Structure 1
Amino acid sequence: MTDDLRTRLANPDDPVLCAGGYLFELERRGYLTAGSFVPEVALEHPEVLKQVYREFVRAGSDVIEAFTYNAHREKMRLIGKEELLEPLNRSALRTAREVAAEGWDRPPLVAGNISNTNIYDPEDPATADQVRAMYTEMVGWAKEEGVDFILAETLYYRGEAEIAMEVIRDADLPAVITFGVFADGRLRDGDDPATAAAALEAAGADVVGLNCFRGPATMLPYLEAIRAAVSIPVAGLAVPYRTSPNEPTFFNMHDHCCSVHLEEGRTFPTDLEPFLCNRHEVADYARRARAIGVDYLGLCCGNAPHYMRALAEAVGRTPPASRYSPEMDKHFLFGTDPSLKRHNRDFADKA
């Protein structure tokens, strides 16, 4: 029997690793529309979604996030396919369970996933009722499909996060709650992330933290503040982009070297490639996050299996994908294997 989330989190020396980032990965592969970002792939190409789930587990993820991010009633209304809401959710959940049951040495947990609704408005009480109804149906389907816990992610209002927590608690499931923090460093209803995280701990969350928007450099200080504010496990899922104090989120990044016109001068979401971290930076993020006490660790939008493997290896894991980790000692120019041809090795500095 698979250990549950709380059992895995009870070992402070062994973090739970979680691969997010399905949204960008499936857009790159040509199975998801940037902008609306609705996971229609769960219905249209479930075999592709299963392969992405599988690749992230092979790379070291302890969790399969059932890809229901943005699969809520408001997004489905926006693309005119509200009647597909439940079938899409159930397909994403079932394919996640199928991959989790594929005979892994360490079976992954399956997380039901709810996300920012983009309709919540603290000045309009009616929107709170709409959000609660949307979350209730999604969490209900996730529970029926046998998830291990619920991840409520990229929540940029404390009030919306508190609604998510109420719904998850009513369903009697473990809860991971993560905020998305915009450039000003606060949630949109005014709280700093650490204060909001403490409030969600008091409301019953099992894990609180941050995901998305911010890369390692601009997320780590906020994770450190959250770690100091709460006693429960902390989650940190940065985006693998080189954000900076001047451009603290991937919404703010400008490519000053690009000679091709970008729409409205904005690189998000389809022109962010120049800002990607390398694998060593991802590994460094993993080590620094662990050093400040992040217990639920991963990457969000922009993630890919090679990044996840680097993160897993940085915390001492050897996932199945490590079978194919780089072996540069065998490279014909830059290797050190004594059987390599000397005239090629001597030429390396001129390559």
Structure 2
Amino acid sequence: MAPATKKGVLERLNAGEVVIGDGGFVFALEKRGYVKAGPWTPEAAAEYPEAVRQLHREFLRAGSNVMQTFTFYASDDKLENRGNKLTFTGAQINEAACNLAREVANEGDALVAGGVCQTPSYLSCKSEVEVKAILKKQLDVFIKKDVDFLIAEYFEHVEEAEWAVQVLKETGKPVAASLCIGPQGDMHGISPGDCAVRLVKAGAQIVGVNCHFDPMTCVETVRKMKEGVEKAGLKAHYMVQPLAYHTPDCGCQGFIDLPEFPFGLEPRILTRWDMHKYAREAYKVGIRFIGGCCGFEPYHIRAIAEELAPERGFLPVASEKHGSWGSGLEMHTKPWVRARARRDYWDTLKPASGRPQCPSMSTPDNWGVTKGHADLMQQKEATTQDQLKVLFDKPKKQ
């Protein structure tokens, strides 16, 4: 049974509690056959509510105490990319997502976070007024459904994130702001520290990063944000929700530049034991809102919850089917597998990829596309199409 009155996110963070976010719904549901890669829009909340509900439930069972609404890219300007094939309005999708998140959150001690993200309107150089209007329309549903707090996430440009925070702040609800940047800063080279200061001054009480980079890179980025905020004499809480992929070869745009994006990323997936290290490092840096983004599955969140169980004072329900550091293997029939039921084995393991001819890293596609570079993007796209046309029109050898 859920408690009658739940502590809010700021109340929990102010008390020094660890708040565990959920994982990456877009990628997880694409793999399960409910989301289309490319548009990445969340109409599954209205089309296949049972799939979204089940994923929420698995993350809750794994230890998450934040159910983020599946509203990523649910702004009207982004949903228009689906054309006539989309039979649901943005409001219907957002409302369905809120209902599902609340239903599952009430099954435990979890909060509901309404999420907005970057908009096509900003990337196509629309005005501040136009961008804010798009965000406010999505926000109206969150107010109607009375979410517990709000997250502005996946922003490549701190300017747009500031606009989002300003809109969200008008509701009076707690606001978290999360950029999809690495240690180099946003797409205009504004440092993580300066980005964080701007977000805090705009009204965000929780700041951090999500997506685009691996856990340790994201932790390092948030560390820089924390340093910047403290140097400016400001106060904030910190959050991190990274990829579940190793990305040491990424540039400033992160994993979207990798040749493997989005369908060949599985060889880069972090193990559950990698997640233990990530959770501990994030905690040591002073981050107390710790979760995941693309690639994260419930077992990754369970690993975070298990690593931080001493600080939280309890294990997640899903640990009943796991055991600490593989202790369940003690019941295995093979002696060499039983011997792996210990922390020092998994903590020092260097997993093999099983791919003898594959490189350990890739050469990213470094297009450098950012706001205002629409002409460059169109030019490169046209060049690519010309090259493909030559390739496919080439006469075949007899």
Scaled by the length of structure 2, the TM-score of the pair is 0.76
Q: Supply the AA of the counterpart residue of 1:209.
A: G
Match of 1:6 among 2, 6, 10: 10
1: distance between equivalents of 2:175 and 2:137? 16
Q: Would you say the 8 A contact 1:211–1:236 is kept in 2? A: yes
- The Cα RMSD (Å) is 1.8
Q: Supply the AA of the counterpart residue of 2:243.
A: V
What is the CA-CA distance between 1:188 and the residue it aligns to? 2.0
Q: Does 1:240 align with 2:240?
A: no
Q: Would you say the 8 A contact 1:227–1:294 is kept in 2? A: no
What is the CA-CA distance between 1:198 and the residue it aligns to? 1.0
SS of corresponding position for 1:318: coil
Q: Does 1:164 align with 2:168?
A: no
For residues 180-203 of structure 1, the C-alpha deviation after alignment (integer angstroms, 9 at most, x for no partner) is 016x82212331122111111122
Q: Does 1:220 align with 2:219?
A: yes
2: distance between equivalents of 1:84 and 1:140? 14
Q: Would you say the 8 A contact 1:287–1:315 is kept in 2? A: yes
Match of 1:95 among 88, 100, 116: 100
2: distance between equivalents of 1:190 and 1:82? 39
**What pairs up with 1:112-151 in 2 under 5 angstroms?**
112-121=114-123, 124=125, 126-151=126-151
Q: Which residue of 1 aligns with 2:355?
A: none
SS of corresponding position for 2:291: strand
Q: Does 1:320 align with 2:317?
A: yes
What is the CA-CA distance between 1:31 and the residue it aligns to? 0.4
Q: Which residue of 1 aligns with 2:73?
A: 70
1: distance between equivalents of 2:186 and 2:302? 31
Q: Supply the AA of the counterpart residue of 2:46.
A: L
Match of 2:293 among 300, 303, 309: 300
Q: Which residue of 2 aligns with 1:329?
A: 330
Q: Would you say the 8 A contact 1:100–1:109 is kept in 2? A: yes
Q: Supply the AA of the counterpart residue of 1:204.
A: G
Q: Which runs of 4+ in 1 moved over 4 A?
A: 245-248
Which has a greater percent of helix? Answer: 2
Q: Supply the AA of the counterpart residue of 1:108.
A: A
Q: Which residue of 2 aligns with 1:194?
A: 193
Unaligned runs of 5+ in 1: 254-265, 338-351
What is the CA-CA distance between 1:121 and the residue it aligns to? 4.6
For residues 222-276 of structure 1, the C-alpha deviation after alignment (integer angstroms, 9 at most, x for no partner) is 12111212231111111111111566732243xxxxxxxxxxxx21011100000
SS of corresponding position for 2:36: coil
Q: Does 1:85 align with 2:90?
A: yes
1: distance between equivalents of 2:57 and 2:123? 37
Identity fraction in percent: 32
2: distance between equivalents of 1:169 and 1:144? 16
1: distance between equivalents of 2:227 and 2:193? 8
What is the CA-CA distance between 1:143 and the residue it aligns to? 1.1
Q: Would you say the 8 A contact 1:139–1:150 is kept in 2? A: no
1: distance between equivalents of 2:247 and 2:237? 25
Q: Would you say the 8 A contact 1:201–1:208 is kept in 2? A: yes
What is the CA-CA distance between 1:313 and the residue it aligns to? 0.6
Q: Supply the AA of the counterpart residue of 2:265.
A: L
Q: Does 1:15 align with 2:18?
A: yes
2: distance between equivalents of 1:60 and 1:77? 35
Residues 1:187 and 1:132: Cα distance change in structure 2 (over 3 Å): same
Q: Which residue of 2 aligns with 1:268?
A: 261
What is the CA-CA distance between 1:47 and the residue it aligns to? 1.1
Q: Would you say the 8 A contact 2:23–2:298 is kept in 1? A: no
Match of 2:271 among 271, 278, 285: 278
Match of 1:24 among 3, 27, 35: 27
2: distance between equivalents of 1:190 and 1:127? 21
Q: Which residue of 1 aligns with 2:62?
A: 59
Scaled by the length of structure 1, the TM-score of the pair is 0.86
Q: Which residue of 1 aligns with 2:377?
A: none
What is the CA-CA distance between 1:131 and the residue it aligns to? 1.4
Q: Supply the AA of the counterpart residue of 1:130.
A: E
Residues 1:120 and 1:82: Cα distance change in structure 2 (over 3 Å): farther
Q: Would you say the 8 A contact 1:73–1:82 is kept in 2? A: no
2: distance between equivalents of 1:132 and 1:210? 21
Q: Would you say the 8 A contact 2:46–2:88 is kept in 1? A: no
Residues 1:55 and 1:179: Cα distance change in structure 2 (over 3 Å): same
Residues 1:269 and 1:127: Cα distance change in structure 2 (over 3 Å): farther
Moved more, 129-138 or 146-155: 129-138
Q: Which residue of 1 aligns with 2:51?
A: 48
Q: Supply the AA of the counterpart residue of 1:61.
A: S
Q: Would you say the 8 A contact 1:217–1:244 is kept in 2? A: no
1: distance between equivalents of 2:87 and 2:77? 8
1: distance between equivalents of 2:250 and 2:75? 33
SS of corresponding position for 1:79: helix
